[in-house]
Copies of this chain bind each other. A is one copy, B any other.
Amino acid sequence: MSLLAVRRKVACNGLAFVNSIICIMKTLVTGCAGFIGSTLVDRLLAAGHDVIGIDNFSTGQRRFLDGALSSGHFSLIEGDLLDDVTLGKAIKGCTVVYHLAANADVRFGTEHPRKDLEQNTIATYNVLEAMRAHGVRKIAFSSTGSVYGESAVIPTPENGPFPIQTSLYGASKAAGEGLIAAYCEGFGFQSCIFRFVSILGERYTHGHVFDFYKKLKDDPLRLPVLGNGKQRKSYLYVQDCIDAMLLAMEMAPDKVNIFNLGVDTYCEVNDSIGWICNALGVQPALDYAGGDRGWIGDNPFIFLDTKRIRALGWSPRLGIQEGVLRTVAYLRQNEWVFELRAS
């Protein structure tokens, strides 16, 4: 049982004295209303932590925080990480930061290059500076397999070849990683940097399953597919992702700890289309845009070597197909997600 879980237990028993001594131990989650962020908040609360969440609600959803807000151990701060004052208020008294806030839209990066710079790179700098100002020294960071560009080594290990960035999203996350590592060296921080494959599961609000589901809702007879459908990708179920993050933050020994997070296989986009269509009971004609990439900067083969996180004892409980099916089930029960994005 962690110290915080002990405190919660002790506090519940009415020992306010103990509680008052260690009640300053709080966790900040940036991007707390997002798909992964809100799931992490719930897991941290369940594990006995006090959690502060900050979100600018650009893509986050308030209702993802309903449970957290009713827990009595979660405080929500609405604000942007570019606003130093609000960020300072959020971070004050915390001992660890899970920095998940980001512009996670890899596909449309070239339509708004400033967004990746500001929301990913500069926001990460602001988080680090706020940590420094408030004496917070431990950070978890949601990076991405996109930082590898198109790696010459697949499955790609964390120390694979020095990458050449192919997307503004990947570049902005790699820049965030670099800042974090430099702060670890320069200011004695400790970090866990997680390079995710695409994450699936409950509260999923963007990505290929979302897009295909939405298109099939509009027209179950015809499905436009970016590229040739043969792009090979890897996916991870969100609770498996959170398991890995929590474990690594507990156990990782180094100043800078970098972990790929993914399953040990991949699928073709066509496989995923088959699972989704089958789950929805539709048989659309597939209308391929053609080419081996879905968009400029799309990586036609993403598959990460996850030996390092597995060496800590983690392994994912769900495979790709199960993750896709859980996501379809979630979307089916939460079609409000599509309404919100359309507005």
Contacts and interface: CB of A to CB of B under 8 A. Distances in A.
Contacts of A72: none
B164 A256 contact: yes
Contacts of A187: 110
A162 B158 contact: yes
Nearest to A157: B162
A181 interface: yes
Contacts of A167: 182, 185-186
A218 to B, nearest CB: 29
A249 interface: no
A109 B182 contact: yes
A99 to B, nearest CB: 16
Would you call the interface of chain A mostly helix, strand, loop, or mixed?
helix
A117 interface: yes
Contacts of A148: 162
Contacts of A300: none
A44 interface: no
Contact of A182 (B129, B178, B297): B297
A109 B109 CA distance: 30
Contacts of A109: 182, 186
Contacts of A159: 152, 161-162
Interface in A134-183: 148-149, 152, 158-168, 170-172, 174-175, 177-179, 181-183
Contact of A160 (B114, B161, B164): B161
A258 interface: yes
Nearest to A297: B185
B175 A178 contact: yes
A149 B110 contact: no
Contacts of A166: 181-182, 185
A181 B175 contact: no
Contacts of A128: 113
B258 A186 contact: no
A231 interface: no
Query: Most B CB atoms within 10 A — which of A167, A170, A178, A181?
Result: A178
Contacts of A183: 113, 168
A190 interface: no
B171 A182 contact: yes
Interface of A: 109-110, 113-114, 117, 121-122, 125, 128-129, 148-149, 152, 158-168, 170-172, 174-175, 177-179, 181-183, 185-187, 256, 258, 296-297
Given A114-B129, A167-B185, 10 more contacts: A109-B182, A110-B186, A149-B181, A158-B162, A160-B161, A162-B162, A165-B181, A165-B185, A168-B179, A175-B178
22 contacts: A109-B182, A113-B183, A113-B186, A114-B125, A114-B129, A117-B179, A121-B121, A159-B161, A159-B162, A162-B163, A164-B181, A165-B181, A165-B182, A165-B185, A167-B182, A168-B183, A170-B178, A171-B178, A175-B175, A182-B297, A186-B296, A186-B297
